[in-house]
Amino acid sequence: MRYAHRERLISRDLSGVIERPQFYRLSSIPRSISWEQVGLVLGGVERRTPCGKRDWAMLLLLVTYGLRAREVAALTLDDIDWKRERLAVPERKAGHSTAFPLSASVGEALVDYLRHGRPPTEERRVFFRAVAPVEPIGAALVSDRARCYLLKAGIDVPRAGSHTLRHTCVQRLVDADFAFKTIGDFVGHRSPRSTEIYAKVAVEPLRRVVLGGDGEQVLS
């Protein structure tokens, strides 16, 4: 209606009398996938090629630590502490840095890529394009590669991408009964409200609300 009025197709702006749909906070459900599906996604990576070695490492970072695409793209060689087996993620969305224990599988994937997949360069960024021009990747490429492997595995999920694997990491922590404050700190949520949505898919805690301590249903 605003457009029609602006284009003088109608004489009055009628946008104010149109009822808008209601949107409710926490109305959606996180788009995570099962751990079995994660196996299918990872199984689609050709790990013998430089591109595959890079993608394998990126996917493991996404699903192991719940990193955002931009956090994966921004990683530098200085963020990996091989001696103390730690991975630093600086300047997160919440405004602080996080240091994770460097898991064996992620460490092996990074070593394989750095030795046999990463192009020779003086740049300190970890991940680079696999084709010319040789330059550091951006967040869009990280998300695009995640989307590519999700589709390749035949996994139908709304807006497939890097956030699908991030949500899956969070879902694993929820299923393991971690406190929501702990989960929010782990994945770098700026506000506890960002983590609240996962309460809707905390199956076991919700089950305990309905069932008594002895497993019998609580009757209202």
pLDDT string in tens for the chain (220-residue length): 899 999 999 999 988 888 877 655 545 555 788 999 999 999 999 999 999 999 999 999 999 998 999 999 999 999 999 999 999 998 776 566 788 999 999 999 999 999 999 999 999 999 999 888 889 999 999 999 999 999 999 998 888 999 999 889 888 887 777 776 777 777 766 655 555 555 555 555 555 555 665 444 443 3
- Residue 157 domain-assigned? yes
Residue 159's pLDDT is: 87
Q: Is residue 139 part of a domain?
A: yes
- 126 is a domain residue: yes
Q: Which residues are catalytic?
A: 68, 93, 163, 166, 189, 198
Predicted TM-score of the model (pTM) = 0.73
Q: How far is CA 140 from CA 123, 131, 147, 163, in A?
A: 20, 16, 10, 12
Q: Is residue 174 part of a domain?
A: yes
Residue 30 lies in a domain: no
Domain-located, residue 152: yes
Determine, yes or no, domain membership for 171. yes
Q: How many domains does the structure of the chain reveal? A: 1
SS3 content of the chain, % helix, strand, coil (to 5): 50, 5, 45
Cβ contacts of residue 9 below 8 Å, gap of 6+? Answer: none
Structural domain including 155 reads 35-210
Closest CA to 180 of 159, 198, 203: 198
Q: What is the CATH number of the domain that holds 170?
A: 1.10.443.10
14: in domain: no
